[in-house]
Structure 1
Amino acid sequence: MEPIFKSEDRIWYVTGTSSGLGLNLVTQLAKKPNTKVVAITRNPAETKSRIDPELLENVFIIKADVTNEESVKESIKQTMEKFGRIDCVVNNAGFGIAGAVEEISNEEMRKIFDVNFFGLLNVIRNVNPILREQRSGFIFNISSVAGWLGLGELSAYCSSKFAVTGLTISLEQEMAQFGVKVVLVSPSGFKSSFVDTGMSLPKNRIDVYKTDDRCVWLDDIVNNARGNPDKFSEVVINISESENPPKNIFLGTHAMQFMRGWFAAQTAELEKNLPITIGTDYENAPKIEY
């Protein structure tokens, strides 16, 4: 089957599009001329119902489960059959569990990694050959400031996003030689439905951690979130049109506050422990500048 592709169209492949930032991005992309967006979702009817009917001609909704590699492969196959190429990939699918490490079961930890990390990996592994052959394209991996900071209330979520951060930094170095640009996006709080629809609590609650109280804490975060989803989408779209895009970008004033404090604390700790750090070398090892 020949791809139904117009050379002026730019093709986006976005996961996690039934709500939140993913749905907003699909909507904003669908408004752009010469742009088609493939919306990957487990709930096509839900995604479709939330998009302006006038924009649907620019949206190709595919039911797929990112945790199932065969499902991901099929969605990419359908995309290529219809459009013949993929220009921008946005790995946005994800969810969270609010709970202490002791409360999180292996099953719950594996589930969050299956979506947040391995789901993203399934997409990357199967889209990379296309982008390599094209010698062009963008991959946006949506992490979080929680992928840099340890937050006691979100141990499982942080762990999965730390993994995304590490993978993305490595992936950028691997794909640059093929002309493929990889961008790590780490937002702080944005007003979305993530806490309502994408956050859960562990089955095993331990009273001393006051886990149930975290629902109130998370609601406060959302209610006081400064991030505008429209501006999130605008940034991602603008970066995709840049000749020299950032490799890593934080979004939100809170992200800047958090990360400045975190980097300063890590630098201070490094300097404090410097004698111990360099003291572990062999005594006769060649001296190097640090």
Structure 2
Amino acid sequence: MEKNVWYVTGASRGIGLSLVKRLIQKGYYVGATTRNIDRLIENLGSLYNPDQVLPLCVDLKCEKSVIQSILQTIQKFDKIDVVVNNSGFGSHGTVECLSDEEARSQFDINFFGTLNVIRNVLPFLRTNTSSMYGPRIINISSICGFYGGFSAAGLYSSTKFAIDGLTQSLANEVRPLGIFATCVLPGVFRSPFLDDSTFLVSKKTIPEYEYVNNTLSSLKSTHNNQQGDPEKLVDILLLVSKDKNPPVTLPIGPDSYELIEKRINEIKGDIEKYKDLATSTNFSFEA
């Protein structure tokens, strides 16, 4: 079997952990990043095999930390075939309530952490000529990266929209080099996403937004009761890793498809309403 090497961020819990477990079971090799190596090893349990898994304590906000982890993965496994940028966290807060610090902290992880990985792993993907299916980058975004109509999710959505836009441009840049890039937009899947330790709630509240603030308790009530099965999502990621012509945009989950179709129809309605006026903006040249 071909030596298949993955580099996965956010590997100690949720979708990242499910993915690493499946990769181990498949006999693949993984550079697995986390903020807590002990927790990663504990959560892997009997599946942990130091010959297959390289636990990496990485601060995604720090470029030096990211570079070191990539170099360590290359040193141990000789190459990287598939990169999965999975690390990130959610948030709840109206736009007016968000502080500059809260906004920047979420972008630092959700977007700039992903960007740090991509920029520094690409030199190794460009020189990887032994990957059977072609080296690739899979960025885990969210349905919130296409459909932004959730109150109090503006900050989280904006980080995921940014990842989607980055991936679309990246895919065009690297495809001629034999590298593929895919942006995954999952719907709601069962994971620790809503844990208090990883879910940011804006410190400031404004009484006039009470109708929005009240949505937090409803959101929290779905914790560990989401309909999406992360194991099925992981199965799809493995299929995408072998697709000779993988999609640039990949929604996963029936709710994701439903909301994408809803947003597309909204966009169609908006652009048709102003089409004649909005397309009459070029300079007029008279004969």
TM-score strictly above 0.5: yes
User: Aligned equivalents of 1:179 and 1:51: distance in 2?
Assistant: 33
CA distances 1:106-139 after superposition (whole Å, capped 9, x unpaired): 1110000000000000000000111112253010
SS at match of 1:56: coil
Query: Which deviates more from structure 2 when the two are superposed, residues 17-26 or residues 201-210?
Result: 201-210
Cα deviation for residue 230 of structure 1 reads 0.1
Query: Which deviates more from structure 2 when the two are superposed, residues 161-170 or residues 135-144?
Result: 135-144
Moved over 6 A (4+): none
1:147 is aligned to: 145
CA distances 1:47-78 after superposition (whole Å, capped 9, x unpaired): 11100223434221011111110000000110
2:233 is aligned to: 232
Aligned CA-pair RMSD: 1.6
Cα deviation for residue 205 of structure 1 reads 1.7
SS at match of 2:80: coil
User: Aligned equivalents of 1:93 and 1:80: distance in 2?
Assistant: 20
User: Aligned equivalents of 2:39 and 2:156: distance in 1?
Assistant: 25
User: Aligned equivalents of 2:96 and 2:47: distance in 1?
Assistant: 49
Cα deviation for residue 200 of structure 1 reads 1.8
Task: Describe how 1:110-259 pairs up with structure 2 within 5 A.
Answer: 110-134=104-128, 136-150=134-148, 151-196=150-195, 197-210=197-210, 212-222=213-223, 225-259=226-260
Query: Which deviates more from structure 2 when the two are superposed, residues 155-164 or residues 7-16?
Result: 7-16
Cα deviation for residue 254 of structure 1 reads 0.5
User: Aligned equivalents of 1:56 and 1:104: distance in 2?
Assistant: 43
Question: Amino acid of the residue matched to residue 235 of structure 1?
Answer: I
1:51 is aligned to: 44
Question: Amino acid of the residue matched to residue 182 of structure 1?
Answer: A
1:37 is aligned to: 30
User: Aligned equivalents of 1:264 and 1:139: distance in 2?
Assistant: 30
SS at match of 1:49: helix
Cα distance change, pair 166–62 in 1 and its aligned pair in 2 (3 A): same
Question: Amino acid of the residue matched to residue 141 of structure 2?
Answer: S
User: Aligned equivalents of 1:65 and 1:204: distance in 2?
Assistant: 27
SS at match of 1:227: coil
Task: Describe how 1:66-81 pairs up with structure 2 within 5 A.
Answer: 66-81=60-75
* Structure 1: tracts of 5 or more residues without a match: 1-6, 286-290
Question: Amino acid of the residue matched to residue 201 of structure 2?
Answer: L
Cα deviation for residue 206 of structure 1 reads 1.6
Question: Amino acid of the residue matched to residue 140 of structure 2?
Answer: I
Question: Amino acid of the residue matched to residue 139 of structure 1?
Answer: I
Query: Which deviates more from structure 2 when the two are superposed, residues 132-141 or residues 38-47?
Result: 132-141
Answer yes or no: is the 8 Å Cα contact 2:21–2:47 preserved in 1. no
Answer yes or no: is the 8 Å Cα contact 2:31–2:56 preserved in 1. yes
Cα deviation for residue 23 of structure 1 reads 0.9
User: Aligned equivalents of 2:128 and 2:11: distance in 1?
Assistant: 25
Question: Amino acid of the residue matched to residue 243 of structure 1?
Answer: K
Name the count of aligned residue pairs.
Answer: 278
Identical aligned pairs, as a percentage?
37
1:82 is aligned to: 76
User: Aligned equivalents of 1:212 and 1:137: distance in 2?
Assistant: 43
1:4 is aligned to: none
Q: TM-score, normalised by structure 2?
A: 0.93
User: Aligned equivalents of 2:138 and 2:101: distance in 1?
Assistant: 28
SS at match of 2:121: helix
Answer yes or no: is the 8 Å Cα contact 1:31–1:55 preserved in 2. no
Question: Amino acid of the residue matched to residue 259 of structure 1?
Answer: I
User: Aligned equivalents of 2:43 and 2:245: distance in 1?
Assistant: 34
* Structure 2: tracts of 5 or more residues without a match: none
Q: TM-score, normalised by structure 1?
A: 0.92
1:9 is aligned to: 3
